[in-house]
Amino acid sequence: MILKTFEKPSEKPLKNLTTKPSIMKKQLIISLFSLALPLFLLAQDQTLFDDVDRTGAWGGPMFEYSSLDGDVQVASGGGGALILDDFYLGGYGMGDVEFDILRPEEDIRERVKFKHGGLWLGYTPMQSKVLHPYASVKFGWGKARYRSSQLDDPEIIFTELNDNIFVMTPELGFEVNVFSWFRMAMTGSYRMVSGLGAVPNFDEQDLSEFALQLTLRFGGFGSDNDWD
């Protein structure tokens, strides 16, 4: 009997069939990404200031003329803001507003002083015109200080108190473009005071008054200086 031996066929290494498809897949992904990238850049989220055409910034002093029972007072302060088209957003601070009440029959002088500061929002349409509308509103927080003293000797103090207040001041008027870097606004305003409770003989209505405002603005207003 002849026995045949069969040799196990040698195992040949298999070709790497996945190499070529993998390379093609990577190339396809890179190509698609390259095509899609410009679309992603064009499709970015819109933001609040995308369409703003006029930008700038300014600062300057302001003056307020008001009265209480014929006692005319001038208060000064200052502020500044960023310009976004016809609007501006910034802050302000107003110095002491002071009113006196004299009581000769009691030999008493009563005085209340208050100051405030906070947020300032404004709107100035038609800025290319030399004369154009101007409007703003201020939201401020501050402190009122009350003192009663002897009429002929203010150093003799009877009572001294402090109280926190909130002040809102809308104003409306017009503005003049004096130079490209300087504007002057003249407005009528109404100062609304709230939160006053600890001050005797004065209430919120006493401190809430109509006033005249003068605002001087210096800065860059983002205009082309082509005024009509």
Q: Which domains does the chain have, with CATH numbers?
A: 55-220 (2.40.160.20)
* pLDDT band for position 21 (cuts 50, 70, 90): low
* Residue 117: predicted pLDDT: 97
Averaged pLDDT, 45-61: 75
Assign 27 to helix, strand or coil: helix
| End-to-end alpha carbon distance in the chain | 123
Q: Taking the model in full, what pTM does it have?
A: 0.73
- 129 CB burial (10 A radius; 0-12, 13-18, 19+): middle
Averaged pLDDT, 4-32: 54
Averaged pLDDT, 109-122: 94
* Residue 29: predicted pLDDT: 63
* Residue 118: predicted pLDDT: 98
Q: Which among 120, 227, 127 has a CA at the least distance from the CA of 174? A: 127
Cβ contacts of 49 within 8 Å, gap of 6 or more: 84
* Residue 199: predicted pLDDT: 83
pLDDT of 132 > 60? The answer is yes
Q: Which residue has the higher pLDDT, 150 or 6?
A: 150
Averaged pLDDT, 54-58: 90
Q: What percent of the chain has pLDDT over 70?
A: 74
Q: Which among 166, 84, 173, 165 has a CA at the least distance from the CA of 136? A: 173
Assign 92 to helix, strand or coil: strand
* pLDDT band for position 67 (cuts 50, 70, 90): confident
* Residue 88: predicted pLDDT: 95
**DSSP letter string, 160-196:** EEEEEEEEEEEEEEEEEEEETTEEEEEEEEEEEEE--
Cβ contacts of 75 within 8 Å, gap of 6 or more: 63, 64, 66, 94, 95, 96, 97, 115
Element (H, E) at 62: strand 55-68
Give the position of tokens 């009581």: 103
pLDDT of 8 > 60? The answer is no
